[in-house]
């Protein structure tokens, strides 16, 4: 056997032993024998560098240093899940599904593990990339760190596709977490608070050798790719398991909602026996074609629902109520609590939402209150223990002036929130607007973070987002924690942001109620900031999904002389305030005024591409057939009830070829 064959044989042996130990939990050799083989491979590789392999088992020990984690886009967006907390929530969800798809609906039930979401890309069976969730559209490349996690295969086995992504959760088992903390306490260091945050923080350590020392695990649950050889979610899990991934065995195929609830009830009791943190169950429509039919809302898949186990609850003392000012001027009352441990974290503060909530619960400073983590994420006060109340306390009087600038607060009729109207002079509003402008989903300015914005505002260097484009290195370097390189990176990041497309600039302007999705719709409809600026309320309401409240807010924003002056300055600096010529070249109004429903499986373009073509050509995509539907684009396996409904309403049914001809 020559050197190359020896290296290949050892790599294959070690991969198999690694899989047996970390995925199947059934080791076939001792740790000593494994280490000996690993040492032998390391020596051979070191002496024969021409046989280097980026996915060799020897690289699991880490050693690569990453100072800046590159932000990369996800090939397939990572959506969040809608939450449910009761049987009734799941029943309502099932009814919505049954109205939208044909045939019997089965479900796959999986445990919802509490860790750090990750997306892994495999090409020709080798791990190419590992990216954190980030904002769902893009995340941080943490490949070097993820390669040290031994339950993640670096080389697949079996009949895997040539290219695909797989999603999962990186977790820290209780046993490993306890051991890590025991070592920290022995060294006189502060113990980690909970496994989830520790797992998440581990992915961003600069030295992958340090990550390799942590007993992280990875549980996989979802494949993403073009034309994968899989028809159901349950098959999705089985295939991933065959290719070498660690897929929890707890998953179950449920024929109806009763079986889903059996699964939920069982694990609500038995979850405490698991080696990992779990906070609920994820229920998914099993059939992947039905998943495609159901599609997505702006934030979540319609075909999946997270059922959250009952939240943990504790009582503690409310020491003081303070008030925060948001970027839109909204005032949020905050309960400052006697620190208390809740669901693995120390809770010191909780939102009280608004004046109505305080009055409804009759919350007062000094009260003993019941605190719950809604979905075990955000702490909230759910009630007062009146048996503990001092009879001499007075009801809480909500503030009447802004705690930051002293301006008298306003409260619009029909709204629960109080607002500070001093948009141009209230420091938290100024800072908050600029922080929103530079955020990842908006201008994504590299080298500039929220704390730096505060520093720049407090030092009088900027007062609104247009001022960023006048900054010079020599103004920045004297500031606290600012070196020459930091200043250079910031100026480069600000300059690069001039290429950010119009819809993201529009979102970054921070117009109240204009979120990411609304900004895209407005940008697409009006195409330039000037056309949007001149639109009336009546005109805005005619735009798809733009209601009266959004229309009023947009008109109000452009009625401000300060806002108009800022936008004119931004134009002069070269910021994208209209859709680029390239994008316009791919958009037409051919389908304007027509609503389409897409149903079935297509051969020339994917379902998502088909929907994009409809929208790029001025049409609207709907999830269900109604009297307002103009066309149903029908592929193979179109649901019979959809066909019947379209025919009964006189809606035209066209093929994929008919549609492509329509826009050609």
* Residues carrying an active site annotation: 112
The token pair at 486 is 């930091």
- By the 8 A CB rule, do 621 and 615 touch? yes
Tell me how far apart the alpha carbons of residues 20 and 230 are, in angstroms, rounded to a whole number: 25
- Beta strand ranges found along 74-161 (DSSP E): 83-84, 107-113, 116-123, 126-132, 138-140
- CB within 8 A of 55, min separation 6: which ones? 126, 127, 147, 154, 155
- By the 8 A CB rule, do 149 and 216 touch? yes
- Binding site annotation covers 110? yes
- Binding site annotation covers 32? yes
- Binding site annotation covers 109? no
Sheet with strand 278-285: strands edge to edge:
83-84, 304-308, 278-285, 107-113, 252-254
The alpha helices in 147-192, defined as continuous H runs, are 174-186
- Binding site annotation covers 426? yes
Q: Judging by DSSP bridges, how do beta strands 83-84 and 304-308 pair with one another?
A: parallel
Backbone angles phi, psi at 230, to 5 degrees: -140, 140
Burial class (CB in 10 A: 0-12, 13-18, 19+), 376: buried
Tell me how far apart the alpha carbons of residues 277 and 287 are, in angstroms, rounded to a whole number: 28
Phi-psi category of residue 569: left, alpha or beta, with phi > 0 → left and psi -120 to 50 → alpha: alpha
Phi-psi category of residue 625: left, alpha or beta, with phi > 0 → left and psi -120 to 50 → alpha: beta
Tell me how far apart the alpha carbons of residues 632 and 624 are, in angstroms, rounded to a whole number: 10
Exposure string for 603-614, b = 16+ CB within 10 A, e = fewer: eeeebeebbebb
- Binding site annotation covers 81? yes
- Binding site annotation covers 31? yes
> How many other C-beta atoms are found inside a 10 Å radius of the C-beta of residue 343?
19
- Binding site annotation covers 169? yes
- Binding site annotation covers 420? yes
- Binding site annotation covers 33? yes
- Binding site annotation covers 284? yes
The C-alpha R_g of the chain, in whole angstroms, comes to 28
* Angle of CA points 21, 19, 39, to nearest 5°: 80
Q: Judging by DSSP bridges, how do beta strands 278-285 and 304-308 pair with one another?
A: antiparallel
Annotated binding-site ranges for Zn(2+): 402, 405, 420, 426
Annotated binding site: 31-35, 80-81, 110, 133, 169, 284, 308, 402, 405, 420, 426
Known binding-site residue numbers for NAD(+): 31-35, 80-81, 110, 133, 169, 284, 308
């Amino acid at each position: 056997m020559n050197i190359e064959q020896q290296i290949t044989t050892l790599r294959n042996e070690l991969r198999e032993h690694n899989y047996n130990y970390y995925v199947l939990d059934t080791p076939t050799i001792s740790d000593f024998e494994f280490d000996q083989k690993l040492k032998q491979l390391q020596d051979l590789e070191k002496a024969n560098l021409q046989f280097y392999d980026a996915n060799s088992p020897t690289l699991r020990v880490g050693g690569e240093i990453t100072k800046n984690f590159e932000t990369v886009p996800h090939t397939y967006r990572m959506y969040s899940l809608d939450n449910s907390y009761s049987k009734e929530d799941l029943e309502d969800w099932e009814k919505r599904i049954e109205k939208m798809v044909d045939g019997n609906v089965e479900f796959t039930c999986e445990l919802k593990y509490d860790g750090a979401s990750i997306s892994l890309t495999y090409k020709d069976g080798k791990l190419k990339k590992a990216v954190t969730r980030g904002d769902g559209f893009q995340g941080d490349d943490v490949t070097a760190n993820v390669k040290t996690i031994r339950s993640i295969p670096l080389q697949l086995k079996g009949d895997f596709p040539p290219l695909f992504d797989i999603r999962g959760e990186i977790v820290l088992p209780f046993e490993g977490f306890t051991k890590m903390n025991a070592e920290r306490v022995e060294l006189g260091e502060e113990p980690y608070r909970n496994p989830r945050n520790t797992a998440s923080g581990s992915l961003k350590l600069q030295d992958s050798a340090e990550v390799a020392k942590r007993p992280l695990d990875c549980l996989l649950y979802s494949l993403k790719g073009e034309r994968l050889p899989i028809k159901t979610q349950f098959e999705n899990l089985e295939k991933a398991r065959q290719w070498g991934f660690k897929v929890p065995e707890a998953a179950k195929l449920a024929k109806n909602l009763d079986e889903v609830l059996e699964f939920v009830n069982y694990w609500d009791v038995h979850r405490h026996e698991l080696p990992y943190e779990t906070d609920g169950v994820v229920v998914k429509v099993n059939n992947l074609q039905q998943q495609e039919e159901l599609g997505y809302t702006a934030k979540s898949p319609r075909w999946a629902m997270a059922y959250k186990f009952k939240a943990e609850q504790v009582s503690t003392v409310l020491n003081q109520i303070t008030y925060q000012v948001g970027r839109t001027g909204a005032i949020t009352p905050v309960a400052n609590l006697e620190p208390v441990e809740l669901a693995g974290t120390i809770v010191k503060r909780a939102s009280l939402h608004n004046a109505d909530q305080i009055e409804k619960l009759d919350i007062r400073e000094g009260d003993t209150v019941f605190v719950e983590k809604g979905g075990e994420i955000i702490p909230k006060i759910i009630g007062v223990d009146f048996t503990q109340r001092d009879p001499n306390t007075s009801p809480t009087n909500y503030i009447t002036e802004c705690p930051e600038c002293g301006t008298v607060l306003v409260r619009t009729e029909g709204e629960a929130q109080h607002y500070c109207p001093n948009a141009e002079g209230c420091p938290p509003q100024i800072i908050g607007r600029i922080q929103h402008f530079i955020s990842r989903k908006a201008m994504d300015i590299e080298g500039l973070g929220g704390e730096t914005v505060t520093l720049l505002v407090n030092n009088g260097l900027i007062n609104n987002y247009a001022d960023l484009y006048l900054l010079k290195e020599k103004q920045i370097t004297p500031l606290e924690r600012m070196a020459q390189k930091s200043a250079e990176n910031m100026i480069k990041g600000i300059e690069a942001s001039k290429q950010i497309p119009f819809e993201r600039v529009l979102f970054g302007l921070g117009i109240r109620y204009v979120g990411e999705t609304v900004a895209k719709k407005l940008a697409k409809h009006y195409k330039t900031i000037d056309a949007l600026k001149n639109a009336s309320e009546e005109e805005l309401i005619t735009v798809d999904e733009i209601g009266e409240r959004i229309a009023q807010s947009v008109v109000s924003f452009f009625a401000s002389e300060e806002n108009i002056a800022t936008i004119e300055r931004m134009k002069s600096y070269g910021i994208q305030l209209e859709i680029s010529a390239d994008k316009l070249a791919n958009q037409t109004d051919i389908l304007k005024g027509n609503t389409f429903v897409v149903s079935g499986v297509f051969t020339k373009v994917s379902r998502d591409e088909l929907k994009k073509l409809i929208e790029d050509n001025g049409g609207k995509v709907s999830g269900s057939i109604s009297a307002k539907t103009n066309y149903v684009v029908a592929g193979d396996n179109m649901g019979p009830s959809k066909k019947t409904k379209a025919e009964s309403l006189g809606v035209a049914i066209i093929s994929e070829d008919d549609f492509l001809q329509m826009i050609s």
